[in-house]
Structure 1
């Protein structure tokens, strides 16, 4: 990909040099409306070529993006954050960083406050109701009940 970009850049530079030579040659001739129009068209094309060359110079190669993405991943950024920082897609970020082990706990949302239903669940448990019945009566998934009870009721 870098070779293709370099070849394209070289072709644009060659075309720009030819345009500049043509502008210089035409400006030495007697100025007629046709020659002035031709010079303006060449100047416009040269401006577009310069903009394209600038874009190519700013573009980073895939290898550079992979190195930057991996460095950001090792710093602990998520794939979404890496994609946004490098202006690449999330799938590209995953392709570059997919083999780096991720600590899944880092992405868990910390629950620092206990749920509002936990006190009612504790009292129901002391009444002798089973956890399945309590979860059903409170209208919450059983797994959520177990997680909250393990996290907050044992404190």
Structure 2
């Protein structure tokens, strides 16, 4: 890494920097180096699948609130589905094709569960906005100063 890249990286206040995402973000030049990797000479990798998945999760959550937004979308969609199930349950109740108490039980479980999921999604949106505001990442990087 160049000295400039290291200087810019030192401005980030995060404890766990996801370098694969930050380096392109700050505008530093990067390239891909292809090489032929030979089979491991001895031993096994000390980087298990669990660590690889944790790194992928860090990469996804470090730069985006999309996982939180997906919970909101699932909440809205499932709430709409629960309204459809509510309508279906009421129709089957009026047609007399249900067991006593099934309609009220099914409707209450579906409606309350989906309202909770929707509320969690809304709270998650607020938390995502707070997270983005408090990250304290540099808003811009000054490469050179021009004197008058």
TM > 0.5 fold call: no
- Normalising by structure 2, we get a TM-score of 0.38
- Larger RCO (alpha carbons 8 Å, 6+ apart): 2
By percentage of residues, which structure has more helix? 1
Bigger CA radius of gyration: 1
